[in-house]
Chains A and B, each alone.
Chain A
Amino acid sequence: AQSVTQLGSHVSVSEGALVLLRCNYSSSVPPYLFWYVQYPNQGLQLLLKYTSAATLVKGINGFEAEFKKSETSFHLTKPSAHMSDAAEYFCAVSRATGASKIIFGSGTRLSIRP
């Protein structure tokens, strides 16, 4: 069975500081991993995805994530936080291609202090 654990339901950083959101996964087969962002009262937007092509994945809005198989982690980082980054972030895992279920983590709310 697959699962995703996001450490920290709420993370608060100062504007300009490093953002680090943690995600650990469990999967019996090589996984496909995703980070989604959700702004208030909106749908989910894909930030980036890992599909085994490269372990360091760059996404939109300056975010990136590194796949570490030995640590079963896929943490999301951004060097310098902007106020506009305040949102809910979900890590997700899929093991299959095509129409199938993806498993979401419980989410991390990111707050940015001025």
Chain B
Amino acid sequence: DTEVTQTPKHLVMGMTNKKSLKCEQHMGHRAMYWYKQKAKKPPELMFVYSYEKLSINESVPSRFSPECPNSSLLNLHLHALQPEDSALYLCASSQEGTYNEQFFGPGTRLTVL
């Protein structure tokens, strides 16, 4: 299985809602990533997990809360988001000890009303 899956595909939420994005991979990768991508822009790194521990936080607002329950799963918990947080959220994974070749999921299209 060489796939990264993400659910849901689309999400619409209000500014007072709490929701979660989920990402899963079964490639045995021990590094997982969250990116945010606005229209016509490259992906922006948000968080990196290595061996289930948070290793990079790119100064992301606390209304985004990542979680890595095990080596195959990555969650992004959302609370009190703003309309400007509307974007495509991409998950990726990579094998430790390689050239940091990252495999991306299809993304979750998030709209904050």
Residue numbers of A with Cβ under 8 A of B are 32, 34, 36, 41-46, 49, 51, 90, 94, 96-102, 104-107, 109
Contact = CB atoms under 8 A, between A and B. Distances in A.
B109 interface: yes
A32 to B, nearest CB: 4
Interface of B: 4, 6, 30-31, 33, 40-43, 45, 48-50, 55-56, 58, 88, 90, 92, 94, 96-107, 109
B16 to A, nearest CB: 27
A99 B104 contact: no
Contact of B31 (A32, A42, A99): A99
Contacts of A45: 104
Q: By DSSP majority rule, is chain A's interface helix, strand, loop, or mixed?
A: loop
Given A41-B109, A97-B97, A99-B94, A107 B40 contact: yes
A109 B107 CA distance: 19
Contacts of A106: 41-42
Given A97-B97, A98-B50, A99-B49, 11 more contacts: A41-B88, A42-B106, A44-B90, A44-B92, A44-B104, A96-B100, A97-B96, A97-B98, A98-B97, A99-B55, A105-B42
B42 A97 contact: no
B103 A46 contact: yes
Nearest to A107: B42
